[in-house]
Amino acid sequence: MSVQEQKPHIVMLPFMAQAHMLPMVDLVRVLAKRGLTISILATPHNAGRFKTVIDRAIATGLDIHVLHLKFPCSEVGLPDGCENFDMLASGDDVFKFFKAIDMLKEQVEERLRQLEPSPSCLIADACFPSWATTIALKLHFPRILFYATTCFALLCQHIQNNCKELDAITSDTEYFVMPGLPDRIELTKAQLRGAPNNPSFEWNEIWDEMRKAESEAFGAIVVNTFEELESEYIKEYKKAIGKGVWCVGPVSLCNKDYADKVERGNKLVSTAENEYYLQWLDSKEPGSVIYVCLGSQSSPATLQLIELALALEASNRPFIWVLRNASEESQKWILEEKFEERSRTGGS
């Protein structure tokens, strides 16, 4: 194929956390359906999480390639195979995880150099350090940032980082009107904060790198949002950062097939279990079921879990509650109080 006939070749570098990785894998298929060649750089464990979905896409004729990176777990003191944010056991492991990400620089550069045809651009998650931009510039193509969140959240974060007025607010629980937003919205410092209170030197380094990556990247960023959802916030965010914003969402709509929807995440429940939950949902009135899931990283403390459990029970509504890594103490309470049995008529 001549240079003139070559399709654009996009390289994707997803961050190793479910809420970041899954939207980027969706975007991979969206772009591939437009006739582009797509290469995904991922560690073996993370690639395994989306292998079934990507293999099915490749089988339809989409030009997608998965290239593995070795995640340096042992070099930073993480257990072998600990390659995703939801596998971290403690707050200290977060810093080890970001240190390991920093050590991927040489591997990523080597992979990008070897690719044929040469990449047209690198779309890297915004959580990757500025070295991704440095490598792209060195190899003569742009690094484009990808954000899986909304422009509302990004604008709030930008204001938080740049508005001196907020420094005068010392209370974590006092509500204030967030300046610079198109609407009157009241928040507290605790709600706004995207990092721990009194962040350590390590946290500050991580956030500084992300801000540096945003400022140095190509003149437009890709965001998993859409104009009809938050047009004013998109407009204000463009103005605030002085870059273009390409709204490509919601990318999850690319999941048309039933199999793509249920196999999109990490672990697929058995077919029998999946059918049980679907039949249970079908037996309930539309709009009657409460769904509770605190994400792939949050594990409530036992007292929080008990309060949430009692509130769900008191609602007298059917519910599905997804629990991640409940502590032994929490599991003991659930068993001793026979909570599942008590709520069986209302929830699952």
**Enzyme catalytic residues:** 20, 125
- Kindly state the tokens that stand for 231: 């047009």
CA distances to 135, 137, 140, 341 from 112, rounded to whole Å, are 9, 12, 11, 55
Tell me the C-alpha distance between 28 and 51, whole Å: 13
Contact, 90 vs 118, CB < 8 A?
no
Q: Cβ of 264: how many Cβ atoms within 10 Å?
A: 18
Radius of gyration of the chain from its Cα atoms, rounded to whole angstroms: 22
CA distances to 116, 181, 218, 220, 221 from 239, rounded to whole Å, are 37, 12, 16, 12, 13
Tell me the C-alpha distance between 240 and 180, whole Å: 10
Peptide bond into 23 cis (omega under 30): no
Contact, 224 vs 23, CB < 8 A?
yes
